[in-house]
Amino acid sequence: MSKKIIIAIDGFSSTGKSTIAKLLAQKYNYIYVDTGAMYRAVTLYAKQNNFVGLEKLDVSGLVSNLKNISLSFQLNNDLGFAEMFLNGVNVEKHIRSLEISQLVSKVSTISEVRTKLVAEQQIMGKERGIVMDGRDIGTVVFPDAELKLFMTASADKRATRRYKELIERGDKVEFKDILFNVQERDRIDSTRQDSPLMKANDAIEFDNSDMGITEQFERICTLVEKRIS
Ligand code: DC
């Protein structure tokens, strides 16, 4: 019998973390949790309630309303993965917009937001058998994860991937805005005081600027096999 483990995948935005995480979850029949979607959903709530904007962040307003935010993942059988629900409403498409991408790093600096989401994430991983991606999974959420991966790629490659995704779904965006957003999020995510994005000492780094998904996935599966057998 193979052992159920926690696979923690951290790294910069648009480094293909979720693609790898979904493939791993499928192969090993694990739960996949996209923690970025949780921060994005809180950001959507903050925006809808006027607690955040390009020039504004009302920390106390948002913090006093955190109790009114209920997040859940619900499986979409057609897509084969779970979608993000905010207070019972499917917000999957909304949270992926450039508008939310421009605000999410700011909201993610708030310690009270992090405490709430980290606690929810730790509950999801209690039984192990989970693949979780984000920025602080191997360092804060599951420092005892059996396998920690840290993904990187050049900002240009990442912005190109993100741009393609947004254009394919019909959003009207410009490449220069996407590149700026990727660089700006790198900066805020890596320099915030509370749990900044950093590689855990025991994480294995993958620079996938020039590595295809298949090659990466095969290498990662070899690492998984070693830990579950
Ligand atoms: O993975 P993503 O690009 O969807 O994440 C969106 C933002 O959420 C990211 O720029 C920073 C924040 N985030 C975080 O602070 N901690 C996490 N564990 C996941 C995401």
Q: What is the pLDDT along the chain (229 residues), one digit of tens a residue?
A: 789 999 999 999 989 899 999 999 999 999 999 999 999 999 999 999 999 999 999 999 999 999 999 999 999 999 888 999 999 999 999 999 999 999 999 999 999 999 999 999 999 999 999 999 999 999 999 999 999 999 999 999 999 999 999 999 999 999 999 999 999 999 999 999 999 999 999 999 999 888 888 999 999 999 999 999 9
> Counting atoms of ligand 1 from 1, which one is nearest the CA of 96?
4
- For the entire predicted model, the pTM comes to 0.95
| Distance of CA 158 from the midpoint of ligand 1 (Å) | 15
Answer for the pair 174, 159: CB distance below 8 angstroms, yes or no.
Answer: no
Buried b (16+ CB within 10 A) or exposed e, 14-29: bbbbbebbbbbbeebe
What is the distance between the alpha carbons of residues 146 and 14, in angstroms, rounded to a whole number? 24
Q: Strands 204-207, 147-152: parallel, antiparallel or unpaired by DSSP?
A: parallel
User: What's the 162 CA to ligand 1 centre distance in angstroms?
Assistant: 14
State the distance from the centre of ligand 1 to the C-alpha of 213, rounded, in angstroms. Answer: 21
Distance of alpha carbon 76 from alpha carbon 10, whole angstroms: 24
Tell me which of 18, 108, 137 to substitute to probe ligand 1's pocket, judged by most ligand atoms within 8 Å of the beta carbon.
108
Q: Specify the residue for token string 């779970």.
A: 82
Cα–Cα distance between 157 and 126 in angstroms, integer? 35
Where does ligand 1 bind, in terms of residues with CB under 6 Å?
13, 35-36, 39-40, 104-105, 108, 134-136, 185, 189
- Dist CA 106 CA 52 (whole Å): 9
Residues 6 or more apart whose CB falls under 8 angstroms from that of 48 comprise none
> What pLDDT, on a 0 to 100 scale, did the predictor assign at position 188?
95
- How remote is the CA of residue 34 from the centroid of ligand 1, in Å? 9
- The pLDDT value recorded for residue 111 is 98
In the chain, count H helices and then E strands.
9, 10
Query: Which CATH superfamily does the domain covering 6-224 fall into?
Result: P-loop containing nucleotide triphosphate hydrolases (3.40.50.300)
Look at ligand 1, atom 16, and give the residue with the nearest C-alpha. Answer: 135
